[in-house]
Structure 1
Amino acid sequence: MFHVGDSIVYPMQGAGVIEAIEEKEILGEKHRYYMIKMPIMGMQVMIPIDKVLKSRIRLVADVLTLEHVLDVFQYGQTDTTLSMKERYKINTEKLRTGNIQEGAEVVRDLMRLNKKKALNSSEKQMLDSARKIFISELGIIRGITENQANDLLNKRVG
């Protein structure tokens, strides 16, 4: 499905590059694994090839998709009528999809809310996690560092 050198997104973890495909024996069973380097998190992840569909791994978005997502990020509306509980549930569902636009919406909305008043600890943690995931994909697509991607988001949030 994927090949060495492919840039992928692992939902709830972030973007990375497949560095190798290796066979490993774990608990007496041999399986083939994608060995993925996650630059932002500074770690390597092993994902069994036979579990890839279930894990919702996808290729990173293309530049046109990213530009659309950044426009939505900057100019899209934030629903301020939701309760914290409703917002948390909706945002969790969005992040689980692994969709770049839905993840960007979570980051945008929580960043905007955080500007108005401090987020509670669970939403602050969600913002930190969602932001890292979005920044990791943005960095890979644009070929920029984590700091440059972070600066780009800060300039675009309204």
Structure 2
Amino acid sequence: MKPPAGAKSTSPQPDTQRPGMAEEQAAAPAESSVPAGPSRPAPPPKPLGNKGSDFKAGDYVVYPTHGVGQVQGIETMSAAGHDLKVIVVTFEENRMTLRVPLGKAATAGLRMLANKDMMGEALDTLKGRARIKRTMWSRRAQEYEQKINSGDPVQIAEVVRDLHRNAGQPDQSFSERQIYELAMDRLAAEVAALDRTDKTAAMNKLLDYLKQG
């Protein structure tokens, strides 16, 4: 997915020759409406990915830091004198190809599109009340980016919900707008793939849910 203009990219540069570049995994801390205070570290989230054997050519999939892509097939590559099977995923909007080692698909977070229950929870999240921490924006921005890069549609929906502004509410700052648009783009891309429609229609659907909040 292509981030909004001016947004700082959190995505690695395309590398079609080197397997294993998909081994990154972003942790997503929980959001709270209470003031920040001393807290114990949260346990790492359970990977959302599927087993490598779950994927086949033509499948639409989600990779945490890049959003929705399409599986082109399984290839065998030679690495350090050994054969390595990789899942080839292309991302049309940014013209990038990712090669994910078959045995590391789950831990890398590569997953099939959300099922009905998961996306239903994400859409219901949009109707909830915004939960804003009383912390510095720089810290909240980092947590929002981690949620977006978790690949979890529910956490991405939380970012959209918390940063959305209705008519009559204070305008977003430039950096808030950037993060909001990135989260909206990621969520809309998955909704569009699930509904077999385009991103514009998907965004309108998300806005309808936000209006119910």
Is the structural similarity TM-score above 0.5? yes
* CA contact 1:12–1:133 (8 Å) conserved in 2: no
Q: Please state how far the C-alpha of 1:105 moved relative to its aligned partner.
A: 0.9
Q: Please state how far the C-alpha of 1:28 moved relative to its aligned partner.
A: 7.6
Matched to 2:61, the amino acid is I
Aligned counterparts of 1:145 and 1:117: Cα–Cα separation in 2: 28
Aligned counterparts of 1:28 and 1:145: Cα–Cα separation in 2: 43
Q: Please state how far the C-alpha of 1:29 moved relative to its aligned partner.
A: 6.8
Number of the residue aligned with 1:106: 159
Aligned residues: 155
Distance change (3 Å), C-alpha of 1:25 and 1:126: farther
Larger radius of gyration: 2
- Give the CA RMSD over aligned residues: 2.6
Number of the residue aligned with 2:119: 66
Choose from 53, 63, 76 the match for 1:23. 76
Matched to 1:3, the amino acid is F
SS of corresponding position for 2:55: coil
Number of the residue aligned with 1:119: 173
Matched to 2:189, the amino acid is S
Gaps of at least 5 residues in structure 1 are none
Q: Please state how far the C-alpha of 1:27 moved relative to its aligned partner.
A: 8.5
Aligned counterparts of 1:48 and 1:16: Cα–Cα separation in 2: 12
SS of corresponding position for 2:70: strand
Q: Please state how far the C-alpha of 1:9 moved relative to its aligned partner.
A: 0.8
Structure 2 length-normalised TM: 0.62
Q: Please state how far the C-alpha of 1:44 moved relative to its aligned partner.
A: 4.0
Percent of aligned pairs sharing the same letter: 22
Q: Map 1:142-153 to 2 at 5 A.
A: 142-153=195-206
Q: Please state how far the C-alpha of 1:102 moved relative to its aligned partner.
A: 0.3
Q: Please state how far the C-alpha of 1:101 moved relative to its aligned partner.
A: 0.2
Distance change (3 Å), C-alpha of 1:145 and 1:36: same
